[in-house]
């Protein structure tokens, strides 16, 4: 079946899923575009997995409708949906070798042996495991097992691939390597990937767009830079990266409105008290209360008023740990461009 390019891969129409009193997913509207790498990001219990399970068909909405390429699948069983899932625990068959694990989906469909071998070879190449066909899962590293799970899910060429925290079990370095690889594989195969994670850096690294979940609702949907540069709420500003929230009297004094705004630590410039900020810049005096030298950059805690601190990070372009640590107690002028603030409410 040809897809109409304007038909979304996935569409949620006021989807809710309640477990008794718990509103796991609460009136969610959502459109995922064909071919995009889409992440569902949020803290534990925010409803991401429940959304994914409803797309897969392992769970059903209490109310609302889910469309897959324009077809209402709300009441279709999992095997009648053209989606596949990769789980965090891989769920490989331990007694089968890599080749048999990857070929499983084609075996079930009675695809002839020769054809199967050809597709398995293609998949092994895609996930850079050529030469590992005869190994058992127990003879592979975590990252290699993850790639087998991916190959096994992709061999059926599903229209949508669902990934539930698939990198969660890997150590940080391998995880970062797999993030880049996964994104490259998605680009190559062109399949819509829906990726569930609670790791904001992971979502930002890989996604075309991100939905930020909080308590069963989506707080914001946008590109990684939208979410990071223009958080729509204080929850998003706080959950994605570090952010300073400024409200009340200080907000009024600097921006003319009491409405709370967020400003990212790396957007703030630390200057000397005698500086005259250029037009378009917002400035505040402060005192450096704490300095943490982190090699690549330094993190400063700067008090702008009794009990109100801003976090500022600066790259250590020229400074050394000695320079930055001696800054403690200094009076400074902070400034940032007015375009770099985001209004986040209240």
Q: Report the alpha-carbon distance of residue 309 to residue 346 in Å, rounded.
A: 19
How near is the Cβ of 308 to ligand ATP at its closest, in Å? 32
CA distances from 74 to 15, 61, 159, 276 (A): 10, 7, 17, 60
Which two structure tokens, joined as six digits, stand for 20?
Answer: 């008794």
Question: Which of 13, 45, 287, 327 is in the footprint of ligand ATP by CB under 6 A?
Answer: 45
Phi, psi of 194 (to 5 degrees): -120, 120
Among 19, 60, 115, 305, binds ligand ATP (CB under 6 A): 19
CB 54 within 8 A of CB 37: no
At 22 the three-state DSSP class reads strand
What is the distance between the alpha carbons of residues 93 and 112, in angstroms, rounded to a whole number?
Answer: 21
Task: Considering the complex, state which of residue 46 and residue 84 has its C-beta at the smaller distance from ligand ATP.
Answer: 46
Closest approach of Cβ 226 to ligand ATP, in Å?
21
**CA 65 to CA 340: how far, in whole Å?**
38
Among 24, 86, 123, 163, binds ligand ATP (CB under 6 A): 24
Instruction: Decide: is 49 part of the binding site for ligand ATP (CB under 6 A).
Output: yes
For residue 47, the minimal CB distance to ligand ATP (Å) is 4
Confirm or reject binding of residue 325 to ligand ATP (CB under 6 A): no
Say how far apart CA 10 and CA 233 lie, in whole Å.
25
- Considering the complex, state which of residue 213 and residue 300 has its C-beta at the smaller distance from ligand ATP: 213
Question: 166: closest CA among 188, 142, 136, 192?
Answer: 142
Q: Which is nearer to ligand ATP, 49 or 220 (CB)?
A: 49
198 is a contact residue toward ligand ATP (CB under 6 A): yes
Q: Give me the least distance between CB of 142 and ligand ATP, in Å please.
A: 19
Please choose, out of 37-45, 131-139, 184-192, 259-267, the segment that lies near ligand ATP by the rule CB under 6 A. 37-45
Shortest Å, Cβ 249 to ligand ATP: 36
Q: Does 85 interact with ligand ATP (rule: CB under 6 A)?
A: no
CA neighbours within 13 Å on the CB side: how many for 147? 29
On the 0-12 / 13-18 / 19+ scale of CB atoms within 10 A, 33 is: middle
List all residues 6 or more positions away from 331 whose beta carbon is below 8 Å from its beta carbon: 273, 285, 286, 287
Could you tell me which stretch among 18-26, 124-132, 174-182, 202-210 binds ligand ATP (CB under 6 A)?
18-26
Joined together, the tokens standing for residue 105 give 């989906």
Size of the site for ligand ATP (CB under 6 A): 12
Stretch that binds ligand ATP, among 40-48, 96-104, 119-127, 152-160 (CB under 6 A): 40-48
* 189 is a contact residue toward ligand ATP (CB under 6 A): no
Residues in contact with ligand ATP by CB under 6 A are: 19, 22, 24, 42, 44-50, 198
């Amino acid at each position: 079946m040809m897809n109409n390019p304007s038909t979304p891969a996935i569409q949620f129409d006021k989807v809710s899923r309640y477990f008794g009193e718990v509103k796991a997913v609460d009136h969610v509207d959502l459109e995922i575009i064909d071919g995009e790498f889409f992440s569902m990001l949020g803290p534990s219990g925010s409803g991401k997995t429940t959304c994914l399970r409803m797309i897969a068909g392992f769970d059903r909405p209490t109310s609302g409708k889910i469309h897959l390429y324009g077809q209402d699948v709300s009441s279709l069983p999992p095997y009648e949906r053209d989606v596949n899932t990769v789980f965090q625990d891989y769920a490989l068959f331990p007694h089968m070798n890599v080749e048999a694990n990857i070929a499983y989906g084609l075996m079930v469909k009675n695809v002839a042996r020769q054809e199967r071998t050809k597709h398995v070879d293609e998949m092994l190449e895609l996930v850079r495991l050529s030469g590992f066909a005869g190994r058992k899962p127990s003879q592979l590293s975590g990252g290699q097992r993850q790639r087998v799970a991916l190959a096994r899910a992709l061999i059926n060429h599903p229209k949508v691939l669902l990934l539930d925290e698939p990198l969660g079990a890997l150590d940080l370095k391998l995880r970062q390597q797999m993030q880049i690889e996964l994104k490259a594989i998605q680009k190559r195969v062109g399949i819509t990937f829906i990726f569930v994670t609670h790791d904001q850096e992971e979502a930002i690294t890989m996604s075309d767009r991100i939905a930020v979940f909080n308590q069963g609702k989506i707080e914001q949907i946008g590109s990684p830079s939208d979410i990071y540069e223009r958080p729509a709420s204080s929850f998003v500003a706080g959950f994605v990266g570090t952010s300073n929230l400024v409200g009340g009297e200080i907000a009024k004094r600097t921006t003319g409105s009491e409405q709370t705004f967020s400003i990212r630590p790396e957007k703030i410039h630390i200057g000397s008290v005698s500086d005259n900020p250029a037009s378009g810049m917002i400035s505040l005096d402060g005192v450096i209360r704490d300095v943490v030298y982190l090699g690549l950059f330094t993190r400063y805690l700067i008090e702008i008023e009794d009990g109100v601190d801003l976090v500022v990070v600066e790259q250590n372009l020229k400074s050394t740990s000695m320079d930055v640590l001696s800054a403690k107690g200094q009076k400074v002028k902070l400034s940032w461009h007015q375009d770099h603030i985001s209004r986040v409410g209240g």
